[in-house]
Amino acid sequence: MAEHEEKHEESLFEKISEKIKGDSSSSSSDSDDDKPSESSMKAKVFRLFGREKPVHHVLGGGKQADIFLWRNKKVSAGALSVATVIWVLFELFEYHLLTLVCHLLILALALLFLWSNASTFIHKSPPRIPEVQIPKDPVLEFAQALRFEINRALAVLREIASGRDIKKFLSVIAGLWVLSIVGNWCNFLTLLYIVFVLLHTVPVLYEKYEDKVDPFAEKAWHEINKQYAVFDAKVLSKIPRGPLKKKD
């Protein structure tokens, strides 16, 4: 009888302890649900240009983003080296595009011609020249993408010229003015090379130090908005706007 009572007390004690543990775990889960999730906290953090996705996704993802972010160092270094060689040939050595293409074709055709005729004397197989054709689908996709971007740019320019958005108008005018100044400093090829180098350096540095860059960008953005609000209240609000769209 005594042993039976002791076992009954032990089982009752175990049930009570399990009940307490279950209540504590449920209360802790409820408290965790009440707390904001880590993802929602991260979503509230200021990111440059208002982005909510990783830098890799902003750059379009895929192979081009891998090249810009140096995921494959050999490919990224190779692309940057080829761009540097092209810039050196055209800018420092003052090579012309047509001259360079003709010289490369002359060299390639001469080597292949000599190799094809000399193979019979040296008892080696002639070179296998592959049949190169431009595929149809990538060309059509590129043309459609280019057409879409041009139409979107024309729509934006039409909206700006209508005079309804002064902020966007001033932003575009300032950008074009800065671009015209840069155009006086260097030619188009040098500008393309500078943009290419920036694409291979700025994104990877920003991805590495984004936690330090974003707070400074947030302060600068707030200050720009503050100054724009003052300028809008004193100047822009007094400028007559273009005709508004009629609602159907």
* pLDDT (tens digit per residue) in 142-162: 899 899 999 998 998 888 888
Q: Which residue has the higher pLDDT, 99 or 2?
A: 99
168-210 pLDDT, tens digit each: 888 888 888 988 888 888 888 888 999 999 999 998 898 888 8
Record the pTM.
0.59
Return all residues near 116 (Cβ < 8 A) that are at least 6 apart. Answer: 126, 127
Chain segment 94-122, per-residue pLDDT in tens:
888 888 889 999 999 999 888 888 877 77
